[in-house]
Amino acid sequence: SLNTKINRDAIDELATRVQGDLELFTNEAQKLALYTNHITYEDVCLLVSKPLEENVFEIFNLLLKRKNAEAVALFRDLRVNNVEPVSLISMLGNQFRLLWQIVYLMKLGKTNIEMADILHIKEVRVGIMKRSAYIMSMDALENVLNTLYMLDYKIKSGQEDRFYAFELFLINFKIS
């Protein structure tokens, strides 16, 4: 047993980042204990990777805020950790598809509770996505989904380099 202190907020952040994976929790806790004998929130942020979904959601939000350069910088950080662009494309596609569905259901006059029920997601997630619902039109969202589909196809069929092509997508992303 290592004689290490850990702050409450550091435990919470570590638990968030390992997402219930006990083996990962143990490995990361040992790594942190080797680094310092008093683990802080900052130590966890420095040494433990965020879950991929969180990074994808961050890229999604940066694109919607027209912060393409920051989205590219985040992708480059993920690339260092051997994150595959194809999985990012798929997860980003899911975010844009969900946003399209929410915009569509809003046009039908559905409430947050109804939308959550139809889409099989938590009501709080509907609320979060609705904040972005006025940023892009349904046509613009369909264009993004088509672009991501073609990007995925070109990468998987060997027509484009996966890292270069995804970075180009991030650089050229526009809210039309």
How confident is the model over 73-127, as pLDDT tens digits?
999 988 887 889 999 999 999 999 999 999 999 999 999 999 999 999 999 999 9
- 56 burial (CB, 10 Å; 0-12 / 13-18 / 19+) is buried
Separation of first and last alpha carbons in the chain:
57
Cβ atoms of 141 and 101 closer than 8 Å: no
Whole-number pLDDT of residue 24: 86
**CB-based burial label for 88 (10 Å; 0-12, 13-18, 19+):** buried
- In terms of Cβ atoms closer than 10 Å to its own Cβ (0-12, 13-18, 19+), residue 22 is exposed
Q: What's the token pair of residue 124?
A: 């709080």
% residues pLDDT > 70 (the chain): 99
What mean pLDDT is predicted for residues 133-160? Answer: 96
Extract the tokens encoding 131. Answer: 């904040």
pLDDT tier for residue 50 given thresholds of 50, 70 and 90: confident
Of 59, 138, 65, which Cα lies nearest the Cα of 92? 59
CA angle 63, 68, 73 (to 5 degrees): 115
pLDDT for 159: 97
User: For the residues 140-144, what does the mean pLDDT come to?
Assistant: 96
With cut-offs at 50, 70 and 90, classify the pLDDT of residue 2: low
